[in-house]
Amino acid sequence: MGAYIRNPHDLNVRDKLNTAFSDPHLRNLRNRVCGPGATEPYFFNDPRPGNHRYLARISFRLKVWPDGPPWPAPPPPPPPPTPVQLRARWIHLLGTLLMNPVSAAQGGTTVAEVIRDALQKFVVRDEATCTAINFDVIHRSLPVGIDYQVDITPNPNSPPPSAYTALIVLVCRQDIPAGAAAPDPGPDPGEVQPPQPPL
């Protein structure tokens, strides 16, 4: 699609042609080509052998070529986020966006709580049957006012009796807002040390 967008040079030539073929310039050109006392009746077309006219020369004679502002260089892409910035965005998503009681409301609680509860059930309660938990994220439209939801299979409240793999899919209306960041979260009450056990 971008190939069909006119660049500033195209617009510059268009404007020059519009000017050249509008009065008073058009009147002056007509006087030269076809008015009384015309000095150059063959400006556009000369039927005499060997006197062919070329559009490039006509344009040059009319002083029509692009000379407007140079093609603007695209802004340099922002540098990729650092690992620290990526972690801060992730912590913001989990600790703020998914805990919003309005934009992340789900089932009378929040998306963060729904995910946490499912993890508890899949990891602890279904230790003998839940063989793995897979995760995914998708973008799609959501009900008005909702930015995040989560789809979980199987339903954590009615898992199959035999071995299964669970799937937790975060559904987002849009990407994490630019500049979103949060510091590393402090310890939860009653948390057992070390902060990051060697799992």
pLDDT at 7: 62
* pTM exceeds 0.75: no
Angstrom distances, CA of residue 99 to CA of 12, 70, 84, 105, 106: 52, 48, 22, 8, 10
40-79 per-position pLDDT tens digit: 888 888 888 988 887 888 888 888 887 766 666 677 788 8
pLDDT at 173: 92
Annotated domain spans of the chain: 7-61, 83-172
User: Under DSSP, is residue 32 helix (H, G, I), strand (E, B) or coil?
Assistant: helix
11-48 per-position pLDDT tens digit: 788 888 888 888 888 888 888 888 788 888 888 888 88
Cβ–Cβ under 8 Å, residues 49 and 42: no
